Amino acid sequence: MKLLTFAVPCYNSQAYMEHCVETLLEGGDDVEIILVDDGSKDDTGAIADRYAAQYPDIVRVVHQENGGHGEGVNQGLRRAQGLYYKVVDSDDWADVDALRKVIAKLREFSQMEQPVDMLVCNYVYEHVEDQTQKVMRYTNVFPQNRVFTWDEIGRFRPSQYLLMHSVFYRTQLLRGCGLELPKHTFYVDNIFVYQPLPFVKTLYYMDLDFYRYFIGRADQSVNEQVMVKRVDQQLRVTRIMIDSHNLRSVAAQHRRLSRYMFNYLSMMMTISSVFLIIDGSPEALGKKTELWEYLRTVDSGIYHKMKYRSISAVGNFPGYQGRKLSVRLYRLARRIYKFN
């Protein structure tokens, strides 16, 4: 049995996917790499097939009609043979030394009667524009080098979240919680890292800079102008997250996890609100109102707490000047924390 499945959704990735794959191959026979060619129009599919021919015991290829990043993740999960599942975008890569240490730890987990549900490692923003790096680590949140539960976690800082880049899920946990990402939708990585959390019972954190997150390409989905154009997809993801869990029920089981999930959802509501404000059209501002009203119909208590007593207040200052202030604060936070 493979210890770890890497799913690599690829769309027109010929310029950079080889760097990604070469780092993952350092996992050797303990890993499988599923390259999902998402209807690419360049040589992505041919490059993927070449790797599969060269490494038949490690690399598998899925050629599909264009379904978006989420369907690439779905396809990988349907076919995964590894005990653990990790998504790596084709323009990102893994730190080779960290990968070897992760494999050794997963081998320990595989010998346990009940393997750990989720492994967390650090990720690194690799900023192409100014050639700088920013490491996102969790030493203030998680105990290190031992199995723990949600009841033992500390407080996340305002800029600190678990992202797709930082998590390794046990494959059967993802299947068991019914994870299915929507097609033709960007930003589904937020669903991937949010929806399974209440199903996770045991965690393990390694203070390793495993995932290298390339950021700064003009066409990247987290570019501000691109996000404004795709704001409807951001709204779709946010609504799915609202619907995925009753946070009061989560709080009854895991108070600290519920607090984190509330803050994560609040961050998503803030991002959606700010980009609708940047659009500035009457239609966009109407969509902002509709989103908050949707949350209110789901849980009025969560709505009031989130809108007026959390980070989401940033996206809800009243009037024209309030909206301008919201955008200025968002852009200031982006420069400070360098999250896109």
Whether residue 12 has pLDDT greater than 70: yes
206 and 247 inside one domain: no
37 and 183 inside one domain: yes
198 and 231 inside one domain: no
At residue 332, the pLDDT reads 66
Q: In Å, how far are 94, 134, 165, 181, 305 from 240, measured between CA atoms?
A: 29, 30, 20, 10, 20
Q: Which of 244, 289, 297, 246 is nearest to 269 (CA)?
A: 289
Residue with the bigger pLDDT between 15 and 312: it is: 15
171 and 28 inside one domain: yes
At residue 159, the pLDDT reads 82
SS3 336: helix
At residue 323, the pLDDT reads 72
Domain that holds residue 299: 224-337
249 and 283 inside one domain: yes
137 and 280 inside one domain: no
> Mind giving me the DSSP string for 157-194?
PTT----GGGEEEEHHHHHHTT--PPTT-TTTHHHHHH
Domain count, the chain: 2
Measured distance CA(50)–CA(56) in Å, rounded: 10
Whether residue 203 has pLDDT greater than 90: yes
162 and 242 inside one domain: no
> What average pLDDT does range 316-326 have in this prediction?
70
Last residue of one domain, picked from the residues 187, 215, 243: 215
Q: Which of 221, 271, 233, 237 is nearest to 91 (CA)?
A: 221
37 and 154 inside one domain: yes
264 and 203 inside one domain: no
Read off the pLDDT of residues 76-115 as tens digits, 9 standing for 90 and up.
999 999 999 999 999 999 999 999 999 999 999 999 999 9
At residue 221, the pLDDT reads 47
90 and 135 inside one domain: yes
Residue with the bigger pLDDT between 324 and 16: it is: 16
- CATH number, domain with residue 51: 3.90.550.10
Read off the pLDDT of residues 115-140 as tens digits, 9 standing for 90 and up.
999 999 999 998 766 778 889 999 99
Residue with the bigger pLDDT between 327 and 30: it is: 30
Confidence of residue 226 (pLDDT cuts 50, 70, 90): confident
255 and 305 inside one domain: yes
296 and 317 inside one domain: yes
